[in-house]
Structure 1
Amino acid sequence: MHSLRMVTLAAVMVLSAVAGVRAQTASVDDTAKFLAGMMPSADSPLLPLTNEAAWQRHAKFFDGAFGQLEQRQLSRIRAWADTNLAAPKPTMFYMFSGPDFLYANAFYSKASTYVLSALEPVGSVPDLTRLPRGGIASALYNVERSLGSILSFSFFITKDMKTDLKAGQISGTLPILYVFLARSGMTVRSVTPVSLDDKGAAYFAGENAGPHAVRGVRITFAGSEGVEKTLYYFSTDLSNSGVRTSGFLKFCATLAPANTLIKSASYLMHSGNFTTVRNFLLNNSATIIQDDSGIPLAYYNSTKWRFFPFGRYLAPIDKFPGLYQESYAALFRRAQPIDFGIGYRWRTHETNVLLSVRLADDGTPAIDATASAEAPRAAPPPRRRPRAFIGSRPLPDFWPFWR
């Protein structure tokens, strides 16, 4: 009888231990690694899921894709930034970014605070151990699909990303941020919802910022050196009407001056509907790295900025007629060579990168308030380009970042 009681007690203890393991919630860092195709920690409840064929195929695919991207793009961007960026500021702004932490970190790896913003919602990542049967394979496939264009061409196909990340259990930009943080060698420490009221004050984890608050997420993370950094992503309308009624730019102003990145921005700041965010960036940036889809050269106060062109300026792609800048073309006639590609013209021999450095501040605006955009004009005749593909699927002639 005594032996039977001992056996029964041992069985209960084993079942309790198994139930405890199943009841565990995976850490945000293990979740990020798992979605990125990287092994979670040895005691993670996600570890058994790495034995599934879908995850192993996913991990192999991402190992290859990110390995090629590191060699072809990211390592070269970091080397370029190390050579050309002196005394970077602790904060970087990346408007019209989507969840693109990958290039934010490549250009400004020394930043301690990253502020990304776009229309895409934050979304969510549920407990992956509780997904229904087949849910893991579906979720991993949708993540892969949503990253296809940025892994190949440096920017998102937004309409595809919206479809892919609404198709399953995980959604929005958060899973992509997880993947990029993990694949950038970061340890994710915390993920907290954040909202901004109309004065730019931040409210965290369910605090009430009011009915018209800007919603976002704050992620704290650290690299191999162990220094804690912060990533903010805000889902917000950056048009004039959007930013004038929100506290987003007021929040950003508390972190200025910053370094700024603008790429694949659909030439929005060439129009009159995005003058507020354009002027904010000119007046609150210490450096601006952009392709020609960013701020038109005419709006920079030339007495306040020094320009360093790299690469080659061609006409905007066919979807954006009338946006060729003669002054930009003149500036790029003295451009230095570049060994990576970004933006809509993502091929290295077609890429343009402009580094603008703000000169010592004497209190005058960094924007040319008297400027107007150059008169629309026909671009030079385009050269025939080979068709681009993701896998076996041809890309359309234009890969829209913004709707």
Structure 2
Amino acid sequence: MAAGDVSPLFADRAGAVLGDEGVLHFGDPVREQRRLAVGGAVVPRDDRAVIEVAGPDRLTWLDSITSQAVSTLAAGESTELLVLDPQGRVEHAAGVVDDGASTWLLVDAGDAAGLAKWLTMMRFRSRVEVAVRDDLAVLAFFQGAEAQERVIAAVAGPNGVPLVWIDPWRQVTAGGWQYSAAPDHPGADYAWAEAVVERAALGGLDDVEPAGLLAAEALRIAAWRPRWSREVDERAIPHEYDWLRTAVHLNKGCYRGQETVAKVHNLGHPPRRLAMLHLDGSDSVLPEPGSAVRMSGADDASAEVGRISSSALHHELGPIALAVLARRVPGDAALEIEVDGTRIAAAQEVIVPADAGATAEVPRLTRLSRRPLAEPPAR
């Protein structure tokens, strides 16, 4: 489904309010968020799309061209990958689940056509076929409650394995690395799952309680979870978002952009860092993505230190946002965002610390000028 299309089933529900990407809410976004958080509601993800990669070479091929080690991915196992450019910048992102015959990529809808085109161009002699599956829809939920049970009954399984992607964000995956120093990472409770459902089967879910995209976004932001369509820009490298946790395998073979990944992680620091902001002021005022972040009290436009990437009203935390900040911004600095002429104060919660990277223990060689002079030979 292209961005902007909406599932007829959920759009027809009472109170449905539509946005550019789907149903924003069904009349009470805060209540929907609470129900979603405990597994009692399902989100129609019209802002997500499904790409099928079929063929016997699919896993080794994807392993060779993306950031994740997927060559031995078992049927039903979930992971996440990034496609990087030669300079290590993020071009595409996808959730991954394999069913033993095809690999299924769950992507933001705005990225589906671009990623499918790039994958098709990269086939060369590999025995793979790439297709955007417009006949399939994505429904999302938190695991472990009645909503999951109802959706699972309708999940597509063309090759005998239910197509449910379990978001790996709850923990650092094999080969990954976490920059966040938070003792209790909020992602540990983010038991998010996305199910692939045939559109023809959606009619059997009339009694499932829905939640809108606003509820899903608020819970994602609170979990510090980056997203391609929100956080990624033309400068993005995965280190800036702590995306090495789940989307990059640091010990796998060579792939495009790997040199930058290794250099920044081992020897350097990412130039920017993701932070969560707790926003002061009226709950009804939220900064739009792209809003400038400045140091508190700064009047000069040149004092901009970052940009808002996502914002939402959380049912417990109140107004929150994710922002991409310059590395030089102190972690305890007071910040401000200007919205419609009103300055909103913002307190940081550090996700990626300023000293992230430079993890390798490279021995320092003594400079020649500092070496002791050798004794002159005896005469």
TM-score (norm 2): 0.24
More helix by share: 1
